[in-house]
Structure 1
Amino acid sequence: MNEHIHDDKFHVRGRLDFTGAEWITSTEDDEPGVEIAFVDGYIGMRNGADPSGPLLVFTPEEWDAFVAGAKDGEFDEP
């Protein structure tokens, strides 16, 4: 691992357990979309089409910044 990268979630890595989490989907139809769950003050996000795939974990501050960017169109395709 690059020694210059700061891992701000090192203290919770391996401690957070999302296996029993209640996942909330981003879509109201039958197509899988992004899913989020709240565990121990953190927010997990995964691809609903691949629930056993990678899981992103956000602090509340990171989540707020992500949502604000999404609302502002920061992630819209050009």
Structure 2
Amino acid sequence: MNKKVVVIGGGYGGLRAVEYLSKSRDIDITLIDKNPYHYLQTEAYGYIAGRFDMHDVAVDLKEWCAGFEKKVEYINEKATS
């Protein structure tokens, strides 16, 4: 039986945690975030300057989670407790 891990927040730390945990075959991962995207704040100035499109500075979390070899569930909700 797999361990279940819930990652709350799709910020930089949450995404790195999912990437790291996804390497373990005995862990089921769920990512919860109130936003459907991760905003790449470090790339914002490139967008403002016209060097990037919006899809270059925002990561769709549902698509991102679906891209892993193993299943990573994404829930678009605000964690309240």
Same fold (TM over 0.5): no
| TM-score category of the 2 structures, normalised to the smaller one | under 0.3
Greater percentage in helix: 2
Instruction: Report which structure shows greater RCO (CA 8 Å, sep ≥6).
Output: 2
TM-score between the two structures when normalised by the length of structure 2: 0.23
Greater percentage in strand: 2
TM-score between the two structures when normalised by the length of structure 1: 0.24
